[in-house]
A and B are shown apart, each in its own frame.
Chain A
Amino acid sequence: MSQTTEGPTPQDPAGDDSQTRRDFLTLATVTVGVAGAGLAVWPLVDSMNPAADTLALSSIELDIKPIQPGQRVTVKWRGKPVFIDRRTPERIKKARADDGAKMPDPQADKDRVKKAEWLVLIGICPHLGCVPLGQKSGQPRGEFGGWYCPCHGSHYDFSGRIRKGPSPKNLQVPEYKFLNETTLLIG
């Protein structure tokens, strides 16, 4: 459409006025046309975003009543494992005692939980995306008693913070809230 600068543009016998009018028309048409083409592309792009049925599953409600103190439960959320740890008072105490310790990604334990008893973590090692061990009893839990990532040897403590190993970050805390005493909404 950029025919104003190149190509054998025919001479306009009517002179400058007519040429100006033509340039204006060309500009207007090209502008409107390009805008329309741009708008037409949006549905194609947006169709690759999460669909309505996918979004409908983007948050899950969980009944946490059956989880016993000291028990760890894994649930699937947005295609990833989420660790739910109902911590015993000793574990909470240990986690809080370490708040001042030297660690790669310092964070206070109380900033990582909404209720001290319930620790909710995304079960993906921030290093390279493996799932750390420690959810089931009998699995290695690392030197700090939390979780241990077998891929490259990252050790996490009772707050899910990285204490030793290659991971640069703590285990992430997902968006969640307590709908009531026994119902947890993740996402």
Chain B
Amino acid sequence: MTTINPACRALTLALGALVLGIAFAAATSASEAPKPKAQDWSFQGLFGTFDRAAQQRGFQVYKEVCSGCHSLNQVAYRNLAALGYNEDQIKAIAATVEMQGGPNDEGEMFIRKGKPFDKFKNPFPNENAARAANNGAYPPDLSVITKAKPHGSDYLYALLTNYKEKPPESYWVDNDGKPIPPAKRKWPEGMFYNAAFTGGAIAMVPPLAAEAVAYQDGTKATVAQMAKDVTTFLAWAAEPELEERKSMGRKVILFLLALTALMYALKRKIWADLH
């Protein structure tokens, strides 16, 4: 026994140290961007699931506000079933957009209504058109946006709720940290100040204003509410497998714990005659 227990302890310690080291290294790799304030999300934690009502409201915000500029290329209308919409509702939602179909028997393209199997319609035909319409900036696709940013959901929420009229005094410093006099301050044209955005100047027009959408369930459409809802929706768009993943994960871990306990008991039994 004496040869095993210290070794076991050392192993645990060393593994722990390594894991910590890795987590440390991984966590600090994005040290430049300001860490967004952590929010309380329905989908976090071991038992997290998406708040269906928030998802539906978030979809409404995406549809009525974001989708004017931002695509959602990886998501299909049929996927909306996960939000609790039935087949007819999905058909109706898909039918509100026009898609290019064809070629027909005469070799011509035609316009048809959207179908459930279609991916969400892209607001622009291509990247150049998107840039041309947006002052040269390219509104990114939002399909996996919460996975593409560190602390993605918190970041998105912070971004949507941190537009300010004008930057604070502390913003106006040069590269050496000296204050810039008001006469020399120059705000880039067509840009907006956002405290959560790296560099502060963002090309996106403040997308949310109070009561920008009329929620069907009567929820008051404050900026914070809409930001929270649309983030929940986009978190789902990025990780539609999340609920299934966590539920399966809980079972897998429980199973492995039982199996490992059995193997430990058997190991003890088999090795018993050596000591």
Decide whether A and B are members of one complex. yes
- State the A residues within 8 Å of B (CB): 10-14, 18, 21-22, 25-26, 28-29, 32-33, 36, 52-53, 56-57, 61
Q: Which 8 A-B pairs have the closest CB atoms?
A: A56-B117, A29-B262, A25-B266, A22-B269, A29-B266, A32-B259, A56-B78, A10-B273
Instruction: State whether the Cβ of B25 lies closer than 8 Å to any Cβ in chain A.
Output: no
**C-alpha gap A25/B261 in the complex (Å):** 11
Are A57 and B269 also in contact (CB < 8 A) when A29-B263, A32-B259, A36-B255 are? Answer: no
In angstroms, how far is the closest chain A Cβ from the Cβ of B258? 7
Q: Scan B116-155; emit 1 where CB is below 8 A from any A CB, else 0.
A: 1100000000000000000000000000000000000000
Q: Which residues of B contact A32 (CB under 8 A)?
A: 258-259, 262
**C-alpha gap A11/B255 in the complex (Å):** 31
Q: Which residues of A contact B116 (CB under 8 A)?
A: 56
Q: CB distance B259 to A36 under 8 Å?
A: yes
Q: Give me 20 other A-B pairs in contact (C-beta within 8 A), A28-B262, A32-B258, A56-B116 excluded.
A: A10-B270, A12-B272, A13-B273, A14-B272, A18-B269, A21-B269, A22-B270, A25-B262, A25-B269, A29-B259, A29-B262, A29-B263, A29-B266, A32-B259, A32-B262, A36-B255, A36-B256, A56-B76, A56-B117, A57-B117
Q: Which residues of A contact B205 (CB under 8 A)?
A: none
Q: Which residues of B contact A12 (CB under 8 A)?
A: 272-273
Dominant secondary structure of chain B at its interface with chain A: helix
**C-alpha gap A21/B274 in the complex (Å):** 17
Q: Which residues of B contact A57 (CB under 8 A)?
A: 117
Q: Scan B247-268; emit 1 where CB is below 8 A from any A CB, else 0.
A: 0000000011011001101100
Q: Scan B210-222; emit 1 where CB is below 8 A from any A CB, else 0.
A: 0000000000000
Q: Which residues of B contact A52 (CB under 8 A)?
A: 78
In angstroms, how far is the closest chain A Cβ from the Cβ of B96? 17
Q: Which residues of A contact B78 (CB under 8 A)?
A: 52, 56
Dominant secondary structure of chain A at its interface with chain B: helix
Could you give 11 example pairs across A and B, Cβ below 8 Å?
A10-B274, A12-B273, A14-B273, A18-B269, A18-B272, A29-B259, A32-B258, A32-B262, A33-B259, A56-B116, A61-B115
Q: Which residues of B contact A18 (CB under 8 A)?
A: 269, 272
Q: Scan B48-72; emit 1 where CB is below 8 A from any A CB, else 0.
A: 0000000000000000000000000
**C-alpha gap A56/B273 in the complex (Å):** 60
**C-alpha gap A97/B259 in the complex (Å):** 70
CB within 8 Å of A: which B199-249 residues: none
Q: CB distance A53 to B117 under 8 Å?
A: yes
Q: Which residues of A contact B262 (CB under 8 A)?
A: 25, 28-29, 32
Q: Which residues of A contact B263 (CB under 8 A)?
A: 29, 33
In angstroms, how far is the closest chain B Cβ from the Cβ of A30? 9
Q: Which residues of A contact B255 (CB under 8 A)?
A: 36
Q: CB distance A25 to B76 under 8 Å?
A: no
**C-alpha gap A53/B74 in the complex (Å):** 11
**C-alpha gap A12/B275 in the complex (Å):** 12
Q: Which residues of B contact A21 (CB under 8 A)?
A: 269
